[in-house]
Structure 1
Amino acid sequence: PPATVQLTVKERQVLEWVAIGKSAWEISRIQGCSEATVHFHTSNIRRKFGVTSLKAALVMAIRQGVILVE
């Protein structure tokens, strides 16, 4: 099986907010950062999973147990 992707704390937090449908703007307000910072994290997340969409990264993260969704 492929190695589990290692996300930073902030990347994991952003992906958890994405999992419940929050937009980059909403996440920026929740996290107290700029929308550009959220986009920076989502870009890194996509790169780490080797995919071009955030939805694909989210599916992979859930399948690998990187994040838990209730």
Structure 2
Amino acid sequence: MCEAKRKVTVIYCCDKDLSMYRKTQCFSLNAYGDMIIPQNFKRGKTIVAVCDGEIDVINSVGDKLVNEYWH
């Protein structure tokens, strides 16, 4: 039997950095269908959102602010 997985995009901040990041990955589901994000993935991160499938972020918090001050 194949192990059930779900493809998601995780939006997160690193504990030592204020920037936001995203990563699309497949995570295993438990017997009840709940997705399990492993501790080694969560370590050092604050997860802001988990989105179903692969997504394209057009704009996120701070993008405009960063662009104004660095250009």
Normalization by structure 2: what TM-score?
Answer: 0.26
Q: Bigger radius of gyration, 1 or 2?
A: 2
Structure holding more helix per residue? 1
